[in-house]
Amino acid sequence: MAVVMNVFLHFLCFSASLYSVTGLNSDGKTLLSMLKHWTVTPLSIKFSWNAAHSSPCSWAGVKCDNRIDAQFVVALNLSSFDISGWLGPEIANLKHLKSIDLSYNRLFGSIPPELGNCTLLEDLDLSDNNLTGGIPQSIGNLHNLQSLTLGQNSLGGTIPPSIWNSTSIEYLCLNLNHLVGSLPRSLENLEELVYLDVSNNLLEGNLPSVLGNCKKMDTFVFSENLFSGNLPSVFGNIPPELGGCKSLVELRLYENQLEGEIPVELGKLSDLEDLYLFTNRLTGKIPTSIWKIPGLRNVLLYQNHFSGELPEEITEMKLLRYLLLYSNKFSGVIPQGLGINSSLEIVDVSDNQFTGNLPPDLCFGNQLRVLYLGLNNIQGSIPPGVWRCSSLKRLILKQNQLTDDGITMESLLLGFVCGLILGLLTASLMFYTHKPRWFHEIIEVLEICVSSRKQKKN
Ligand SMILES: *[C@@H]1O[C@H](CO)[C@@H](O)[C@H](O)[C@H]1NC(C)=O
Ligand SMILES: *[C@@H]1O[C@H](CO)[C@@H](O)[C@H](O)[C@H]1NC(C)=O
Ligand SMILES: *[C@@H]1O[C@H](CO)[C@@H](O)[C@H](O)[C@H]1NC(C)=O
Ligand SMILES: *[C@@H]1O[C@H](CO)[C@@H](O)[C@H](O)[C@H]1NC(C)=O
Ligand SMILES: *[C@@H]1O[C@H](CO)[C@@H](O)[C@H](O)[C@H]1NC(C)=O
């Protein structure tokens, strides 16, 4: 019976475009005609897209504007339907579409340029497919477009300049493709832009210095591209104009080839929570204005050439969670108030030139999970607030000038921790039931033991 039903449905589907099916309106016929390009049609579509209906309004993934008697399709949401196949040009016949969401399928081939005919489109999401070819120029005809999401495909070529004419775009996401070329000055046309993500492409050139009226932008992701600059200036290649993007909450410019200093103007980003500038070639001191942004939570500046000391202002950043500064040339004493009245979770300042004592209150909020201090010149003993930190799972102290006077290093790290490892060798069961969370950290812990034993020998 199921087989007969299936054959019957197939007959209906595939005959729909050949023979006019009495009753079914034109949008319904268009939808059925799209099926012929699909190699895998999900069951929910097979069973609900019924050519005997008069309109497609009850079909899976289809939404009509029911106020209009003609029952036009206004939204098509087949996200995660497991469709495999090609997106045919027929879709452009659905002239009343305002929203298309075909994300998370296995669509391949290129984006039909005919989509530019769906001029009422406000929302187009083709992300997470296997689309190739370029972004059609005709997308620029979609003057009502508010959200364009083409991320996680294999799209190539340049971003067509016409896109920058779709001035109503608020959300533009082109990440994880193979797009080349640079971002043009005309980006400034997109005054409504709230979210821009062009990360993980092959884009190059300067970061556009004219970000126009980016007053509404809250997220800016330009990471993992080939952005680099050729105009040397004191501000380097992070354009100071970015400081005008007042609503920015996330700024992600990591893994590029950015040079120069962080512009002081970035300190004007008073809503900023995430500052990800890691793995670039940035130099100089971090402007104090940055450390004064009250809501900053995650500061990831590792693998650059930053220098200078951390200012006292850092101790006022009560919302700071992640502070990752490793592999730079920071120097001086880490401000001793760091961590007081806050809840740091990950602190990695390893591979710098820090001196002085360890701040005693890094674990104040009992959230500290990772503390990496290796490869510095930190002196003195490990403060009780650190060795008593019960949330701590990973600790690297190697290659510093830490002394293990008194009970600290000796009895807690060598005694307690290394004792546990010895315990593991002789009675592994006990270990498992005792402190299993250390299991994954053995390597790190061994590093502590080995480096402190070496110190003892010398
Ligand atoms: C499409 O449906 C999915 C799953 O129900 C939902 O998460 C998504 O927001 C919808 N897309 C649109 C544009 O409404
Ligand atoms: C769709 O747009 C193309 C150009 O992109 C045009 O040639 C064609 O006539 C349009 N089709 C319809 C059905 O409007
Ligand atoms: C995407 O397409 C490429 C080339 O056609 C193919 O090699 C790859 O396996 C496809 N990936 C998926 C996830 O289907
Ligand atoms: C963008 O719009 C301007 C003015 O409306 C027009 O002159 C220009 O040709 C358009 N650019 C593209 C690439 O469509
Ligand atoms: C920490 O909080 C307490 C109580 O709110 C306050 O008295 C103290 O001044 C704060 N210390 C710092 C360094 O912010």
Give pLDDT tens digits for 261-318.
999 999 999 999 999 999 899 999 999 999 999 999 999 999 999 999 999 999 999 9
pLDDT of 29 strictly over 50: yes
So what's the pLDDT on residue 212?
55
Q: Is pLDDT above 50 for 425?
A: no
Are the C-beta atoms of 146 and 168 separated by less than 8 Å? Answer: yes
Average pLDDT over the chain reads 81
- Distance from the CA of 373 to the center of ligand 5, in angstroms? 26
- The tokens for 5 are 């039903």
Mean pLDDT of 87-95: 95
What is the atom index within ligand 5 of the atom nearest the CA of 316? 14
- How far is ligand 4, taken at its centre, from the CA of residue 164, in Å? 9
Gap between the Cα atoms of 358 and 85, Å rounded: 59
Q: Comparing 217 with 54, which gets the higher pLDDT?
A: 54
**Residue 227, pLDDT score:** 56
111 CA distance to ligand 3 centroid (A)? 16
Note the pLDDT of residue 333.
97
Which are the contacts of 240, defined by CB distance < 8 A and separation ≥ 6? 263, 264, 265, 266
Distance 82 CA to ligand 4 centre (A): 37
Of how many residues is the chain composed?
A: 458
Q: Is the pLDDT of residue 184 over 50?
A: yes
* Per-residue confidence (pLDDT) for residue 244, from 0 to 100: 85
pLDDT recorded at residue 352: 97
Higher pLDDT, 226 or 70: 70
Under DSSP, the state recorded for 200 is S
Q: CB-based contacts of 329: which residues, under 8 Å, 6+ apart?
A: 305, 306, 307, 352, 353
Examine the pLDDT at 242 and tell me if it is beyond 90: no
Model pLDDT, residue 365? 94
Distance 396 CA to ligand 1 centre (A): 44
Backbone phi, psi, residue 218, to 5°? -110, -20
Q: How far apart are CA 227 and CA 407, in angstroms?
A: 51
Whether 234 shows a pLDDT value over 50: the answer reads no
For residue 122, pLDDT beyond 50: yes
Place of tokens 């492409």: 201
Instruction: State yes or no: pLDDT of 182 exceeds 50.
Output: yes
3-state SS, the chain, equals CHHHHHHHHHHHHHHHCCCCCCCCCHHHHHHHHHHHHEEECCHHHHHHCCCCCCCCCCCCCEEECCCCCCCCEEEEECCCCCCEEECCHHHHHCCCCCEEECCCCEEEEECCHHHHHCCCCCEEECCCCEEECECCHHHHHCCCCCEEECCCCCCECECCHHHHHCCCCCEEECCCCCCECCCCHHHHHCCCCCEEECCCCCCEECCCCCCCCHHHCCEEECCCCEECCCCCCCCCCCCHHHHHCCCCCEEECCCCCCEECCCHHHHHCCCCCEEECCCCEEEECCCHHHHCCCCCCEEECCCCEEEECCCHHHHHCCCCCEEECCCCEEEEECCCCCCCCCCCCEEECCCCEEECECCCCCCCCCCCCEEECCCCCCEECCCHHHHCCCCCCEEECCCCEECCCCCHHHHHHHHHHHHHHHHHHHCHHHHHHHCHHHHHHHHHHHHHHHHHHHHHHC
Q: Which atom of ligand 2 lies nearest, measured to the CA of 93?
A: 13
Q: Which range scores top for mean pLDDT: 95-104, 155-164, 254-263, 447-456?
A: 95-104
Under the banding of pLDDT at 50, 70 and 90, the label for residue 427 is very low
Ligand number nearest CA of 77 is 1
9-18, 39-48, 200-209, 421-430: which has the highest mean pLDDT? 39-48
Looking at residue 309, what is its pLDDT?
Answer: 97
Mutate to test the pocket of ligand 5, among 319, 320, 341, 362 (most ligand atoms within 8 A of CB): 341
How many Å lie between the centroid of ligand 1 and the Cα of residue 79? 7
The letter for the amino acid at 277 is: L
The protein residue whose alpha carbon is closest to atom 2 in ligand 4 is: 165
163-184 mean pLDDT:
89
- The average pLDDT across 172-186 equals 87
Number of helices (H) and strands (E), helices first, in the chain?
8, 28
Predicted pLDDT of residue 216: 85
Is the Cβ atom of 318 under 6 angstroms away from ligand 5?
Answer: no
* 137's tokens: 């120029």
Where are the extended beta strands (E) located within 295-373? 298-300, 305-308, 322-324, 329-333, 346-348, 353-355, 370-372
* pLDDT given for residue 225 in this prediction: 72
In this predicted structure, what is the pLDDT of residue 305?
97
DSSP letter (8 states) at residue 388: T
Q: How far is the CA of 165 from the centre of ligand 4 (A)?
A: 6
Chain-centre distance of CA 149, in angstroms?
A: 14
Ligand 3 pocket test target in 82, 106, 108 with most atoms within 8 Å of CB: 108
Q: Does pLDDT of 55 surpass 70?
A: yes
Res 413 pLDDT > 60: no
pLDDT of residue 22: 59
Atom 10 (ligand 3) nearest CA = 130
Is it the case that residue 414 has pLDDT exceeding 90?
Answer: no
pLDDT at 277: 94
pLDDT, one tens digit per residue, over 385-408 is 887 788 887 777 777 777 754 334
- Tell me the mean pLDDT in the region 116-130: 96
Mean predicted confidence (pLDDT) in 329-357: 96
Q: Is the pLDDT of residue 435 over 70?
A: no
The answer, yes or no, to whether any atom of ligand 4 lies below 6 A from the CB of 228, is no
The Cα 78–Cα 45 span in angstroms is 9
pLDDT for 209 equals 64
Is 212 or 255 the better-scoring residue by pLDDT? 255
Instruction: Report the range of poorest mean pLDDT among 127-131, 236-240, 291-295, 417-421.
Output: 417-421
Question: Is the CB of 365 inside a 6 Å radius of any atom of ligand 5?
Answer: no
For residue 213, name the pLDDT band (cuts at 50, 70, 90). low
pTM for the complete prediction? 0.77
Lowest average pLDDT, out of 27-31, 72-76, 201-205, goes to 201-205
